[in-house]
């Protein structure tokens, strides 16, 4: 049985990741701001009131897991704010908010959880192909794209720095998934995305660490 910590666990892809790992018998620590009725109904350990853009939120999570090993950390919490070239002059606060949650929070939370990570632990950073420079053919979404590109380069550095401790890191695009973030648009249900992500995470090892994958399995361009 693995111990799995999942952020953004109250809804969307996150709650389906919680359901998936509970269903296969793993121990799940679900991190959220507010569990809502969905996550409250699941039998798992929770860290509530954890706004990951605030130092107190990161500390709450670190305190809750102190002294315990984590086999897998899934940095899933994320924020999408729509912007375009015409709206840039007023988009600064939203762009900063996306950097705080999408890029900085996974990095700071990883650092805060460092003592719980060891040989064989895995980090899954839920990124987006919208953070791919090579794949950007439609522009706009400055804050989201920039923050996920920043997450990608952070994840690559984490993979390099943690390799000697036997810790593998994956950057994962979950697909275009019908969640609140996409207002229900998408090609995949969250449960199917969670299943594909879990498959990719299961296949992750030190040989494949540091790559950017579509949950379906293909390597994505940076
Ligand atoms: N859906 C897609 O098509 C798609 C595509 C590519 C990548 N992704 C990525 O997949 C991940 C999950 O997305 P989703 O579609 O499931 O989105 P979602 O339904 O909007 O869920 C986002 C989660 O992040 C949490 N969150 C937001 N702000 C937070 C904060 N300050 N501190 C802690 N948690 C916070 C939310 O918690 P609250 O419930 O408290 O707001 C929610 O649980 C994200 O990283 C997203 O960028 C999604």
Q: In the chain, where are the structural domains located?
A: 3-214
What residue owns the CA closest to ligand 1's atom 26?
A: 77
pLDDT of residue 178: 98
Nearest CA to ligand 1 atom 36: 8
Tell me which residues have their CB closer than 6 angstroms to ligand 1: 8, 10-14, 32-34, 51-53, 76-80, 101, 126, 128, 173-174, 176-177, 179-182, 186
Choose which CATH entry (3.30.390.30, 3.40.140.10, 3.40.50.720, 3.30.505.10) describes domain 3-214. Answer: 3.40.50.720
pLDDT of residue 104: 98
Q: What is the pLDDT of residues 158-217, one digit of tens each?
A: 999 999 999 999 999 999 999 999 999 999 999 999 999 999 999 999 999 999 999 999
Q: How far apart are CA 49 and CA 72, in angstroms?
A: 21
- Indicate whether this model's pTM tops 0.75: yes
Q: Which residue's CA lies nearest to atom 17 of ligand 1?
A: 181
Strand partners, 47: 31
pLDDT number for residue 113 = 98
Ligand 1 centroid to Cα of residue 10, in Å, is: 9
Q: How far is residue 95's CA from residue 101's CA, in Å, rounded to a whole number?
A: 10
Q: What is the pLDDT of residue 160?
A: 98
**180 CA to middle of ligand 1, Å?**
8
Distance 34 CA to ligand 1 centre (A): 13
Distance 164 CA to ligand 1 centre (A): 31
Question: Cβ(172)–Cβ(200) under 8 Å?
Answer: yes
For position 199, what pLDDT does the model report?
A: 98
Q: Can you tell me which atom of ligand 1 is nearest the CA of 177?
A: 3
Positions of the chain with pLDDT lower than 50, given as ranges: none
Compute the distance from residue 90 Cα to the ligand 1 centre, in Å. Answer: 23
Contact by Cβ (8 Å): 44, 24: no
CB atoms within 10 A of CB 222: 15
Q: Identify any residues that bridge with 170 across adjacent strands, giving them in sequence order.
A: 124, 211
**The predicted structure's pLDDT at residue 28:** 98
Task: Give the SS3 label for residue 170.
Answer: strand
């Amino acid at each position: 049985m693995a111990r799995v910590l999942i952020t953004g666990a109250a809804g969307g892809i996150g709650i389906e990741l919680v359901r998936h790992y509970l269903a296969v018998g793993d121990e799940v620590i679900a991190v959220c701001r507010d569990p809502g009725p969905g996550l409250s109904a699941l039998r798992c350990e929770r860290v509530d009131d954890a706004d990951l853009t605030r130092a107190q939120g990161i500390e709450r999570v670190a305190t809750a897991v102190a002294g315990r090993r984590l086999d897998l950390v899934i940095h899933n919490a994320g924020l999408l704010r729509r912007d375009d070239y015409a709206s840039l002059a007023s988009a600064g606060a939203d762009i900063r908010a996306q950097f705080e949650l999408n890029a900085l929070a996974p990095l700071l939370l990883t650092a805060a959880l460092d003592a719980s990570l060891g040989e064989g632990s895995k980090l899954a950073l839920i990124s987006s192909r919208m953070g791919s420079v090579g794949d950007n053919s439609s522009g706009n979404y400055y804050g989201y794209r920039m923050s996920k590109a920043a997450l990608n380069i952070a994840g690559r550095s984490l993979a390099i720095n943690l390799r000697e401790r036997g810790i593998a890191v994956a950057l994962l695009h979950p697909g275009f998934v019908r969640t609140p973030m996409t207002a229900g648009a998408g090609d995949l249900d969250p449960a199917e995305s969670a299943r594909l992500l879990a498959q990719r995470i299961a296949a992750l090892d030190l040989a494949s660490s540091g790559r950017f994958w579509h949950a379906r399995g293909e390597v994505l361009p940076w």
